Amino acid sequence: MDKANSAQRYVNQAMHHAKLAGARLADKHVNLAVTGLSKSGKTAFITSLMNQLLEVNEDAELPFFSTKREGRIIGVKRSNQVDLSASRFAYEDAILGLSTEPPTWPQSTTGISQIRLVIRYKKKSGLSRWLSEDAKLTLDITDYPGEWLLDLPLLDMDFVQWCEYSSRQLINEQRAKLAAPIRAEIEAIDLNAKGDELLLQKTAESYAKYLKQCQQAGFQLLLPGRFLLPGELLGAPVLHFFPVSPEQLIAQNIDLAKLVKGSNAELLVKRFEYYKQHVVRPFYQQHFKRFDRQIILVDCLSALNNGLHSYQDLQAALQWIMQSFAYGSSNILKRLFKPKIDKLVFAASKADHVTPDQQVNLVKLLDSMLRDARKQLQFDGVVTESTLIAAIKASTSGKAQINGEFVPVLQGRTEDGLNLTLFPGEVPATCPKAEFWQKQGFAFPQFAAPLLKDQQALPHIRMDQVLDFMLADKLL
């Protein structure tokens, strides 16, 4: 009986892969990656993306989504996801939270979550229209914690290289005060002594605490990412390692080619390598190599609020993340056997936190942050677009008279439920000079979630343009 069940599972898997291959050959399947670091708005974005598509023929306002404007979308429905090991994206919970008084923002995901939508549409042109007037596009959306993405370049590092990199971060001028306790704790360890698992666990937990303090202070490029969001690995020995300075390795005569068997040093190296091979690599192999298109959400405004160090660290983190994706122009054979990302959207999130007259500058700021990375993408033949979005719009714009002059303002509610009217300030088109940060900070507000009434489509800014850029060419 077990053999029969096993054979049937094999047949079902083969049929599924055959169907998926057929969809890829017909170009009727899109794997979309939604990425970004914590607080960039990934969960809100996917909630809104699903909502706009599911409500596309109801009251969704999508004037720039050409397929919708042409009246060719017959309907959209949710379908069963393929990867049964990934969490089901909690769309219903997000909508319920927005529909309940007082409304709440969708809860951030702490692991991998997925969703599959099937879009049925009328064909616009082409020979295939003579065979059938309508077709289906399968859209798989995957959400990853941005912190996990930061780990992927570790695959190209050995323990010494990682220690050298991390040591430079620990003595960084802005991080030095935060790093002082963990540096002292690590330096007190005898690396040649017999491995002490409890000591390594305690020190690794202190290192994770240091990374979380850095995150709260506005730093973005923090490794390993699982120390911040361990998921199912919480408490596992695979996370009980930390970097050691090159000076400490030299002072204690540590030769990584001839480690003392069973020593603290050997345990650290083994756990680092295990982490790479059994946590990071499978994560990359199972998910990242299959993406067709990608959206990177960037919270520029929080970086401005936190200061120059946060802005620079966010820029470095984005470039670090993008090393891990396979970019390049796609064709049928590449899609089937070695898919690569051929369209990429950089989206500055929370556009409803600035007045409309500052939105152009927000896109320019994002462009300036990504200038170096964009050059390589253009060389690789990737079609890119920079934009801004408010996945779930939480403010309204208007004008108020101040000292006899009318100025643009935003109106919304604070998270304490108070009505708020303000001009949040000007957004710089490029990164301000260092002296500017010393004289003036930014204070872009945090608005409470809007109340969704009667299952209406969510209010947004430019979600229709994102949909058009990502999907319109597949819906012809």
Each residue's pLDDT tens digit, 195-237: 999 999 999 999 999 999 999 999 999 999 999 999 889 999 9
Which residues does 166 contact at the CB level (< 8 Å), separation at least 6?
Answer: 223, 243
- How far, in whole angstroms, is CA 75 from its chain's centroid? 28
Write the DSSP string, 99-138: HSSSP-PPPPPSS-EEEEEEEEEE--SSGGGGT-SEEEEE
Question: Going by DSSP bridges, is the β-strand pair 396-402/405-413 parallel, antiparallel, or unpaired?
Answer: antiparallel
Kindly state whether residue 432 falls inside one of the protein's structural domains: no
Shared domain for 224 and 296, answered yes or no, is no
Kindly state whether residue 307 falls inside one of the protein's structural domains: yes
pLDDT of residue 313: 92
Check whether 440 has a pLDDT greater than 90. Answer: no
pLDDT of residue 194: 97
Helix pair angle (371-379, 308-322), 10° resolution: 10
pLDDT of residue 26: 53
Kindly state whether residue 430 falls inside one of the protein's structural domains: no
d(CA 103, CA 414) in angstroms, rounded, equals: 12
Shared domain for 71 and 131, answered yes or no, is yes
Pick from 278, 307, 332: which residue ends a domain? Answer: 278
pLDDT of residue 446: 86
Shared domain for 128 and 160, answered yes or no, is no
Check whether 131 has a pLDDT greater than 60. Answer: no
Kindly state whether residue 257 falls inside one of the protein's structural domains: yes
- 44-88 pLDDT, tens digit each: 999 999 999 999 999 999 999 999 999 999 999 999 988 887 889
pLDDT of residue 333: 57
Shared domain for 27 and 67, answered yes or no, is yes
Shared domain for 263 and 338, answered yes or no, is no
Shared domain for 261 and 196, answered yes or no, is yes
- Token look-up 């009318």 returns 406
H-helix or E-strand spanning residue 32? strand 29-35
3-state secondary structure of 174: coil
Please check whether residue 271 is in contact with residue 240, taking contact to mean a CB–CB distance below 8 angstroms: yes
pLDDT of residue 93: 96
* Mean pLDDT value of segment 242-251: 96
Kindly state whether residue 447 falls inside one of the protein's structural domains: no
Backbone dihedral region for residue 434 (phi beyond 0: left; psi -120 to 50: alpha; all else: beta): alpha
The least confident of 267-281, 385-399, 412-426, 436-450 is 436-450
pLDDT of residue 14: 55
Q: Provide the CATH number for the domain around residue 69.
A: 3.40.50.300
Partner residues linked to 121 by β-bridges: 73, 135
Q: What percentage of the chain exceeds 90 in pLDDT?
A: 62
Q: Where do the DSSP E strands lie in 94-247?
A: 113-122, 134-143
* 128: confidence class by pLDDT, cuts 50, 70, 90: low
Check whether 133 has a pLDDT greater than 70. Answer: yes
Shared domain for 389 and 314, answered yes or no, is yes
Shared domain for 76 and 19, answered yes or no, is yes
Kindly state whether residue 389 falls inside one of the protein's structural domains: yes
pLDDT of residue 82: 81
Structurally, the chain folds into a number of domains equal to 2
- Token look-up 């890829």 returns 24
Shared domain for 262 and 371, answered yes or no, is no
pLDDT of residue 339: 65
Pick from 278, 308, 333: which residue ends a domain? Answer: 278
Nearest of 42, 28, 25, 22 to residue 294 by alpha carbon: 42
pLDDT of residue 147: 86
* Mean pLDDT value of segment 231-249: 94
Which residues does 337 contact at the CB level (< 8 Å), separation at least 6?
Answer: none
pLDDT of residue 345: 93
Task: Identify the sign of the CA torsion 254, 255, 256, 259.
Answer: negative
Residue 118 belongs to domain spanning: 10-149+285-395+452-474
Partner residues linked to 406 by β-bridges: 401
d(CA 56, CA 300) in angstroms, rounded, equals: 29
Shared domain for 103 and 216, answered yes or no, is no
Shared domain for 318 and 457, answered yes or no, is yes
* 132: confidence class by pLDDT, cuts 50, 70, 90: low
Rounded (5°) CA angle 156-327-142: 90
302, with CB counted inside 10 A (0-12, 13-18, 19+), is: buried
Shared domain for 144 and 177, answered yes or no, is no
3-state secondary structure of 341: strand
Structure tokens at 135: 């077709």
pLDDT of residue 290: 80
H-helix or E-strand spanning residue 435? helix 434-439
pTM: 0.87
pLDDT of residue 177: 93
* 438: confidence class by pLDDT, cuts 50, 70, 90: confident
Pick from 213, 245, 278: which residue ends a domain? Answer: 278
d(CA 404, CA 408) in angstroms, rounded, equals: 13
Kindly state whether residue 207 falls inside one of the protein's structural domains: yes
* Mean pLDDT value of segment 416-428: 88
Kindly state whether residue 409 falls inside one of the protein's structural domains: no
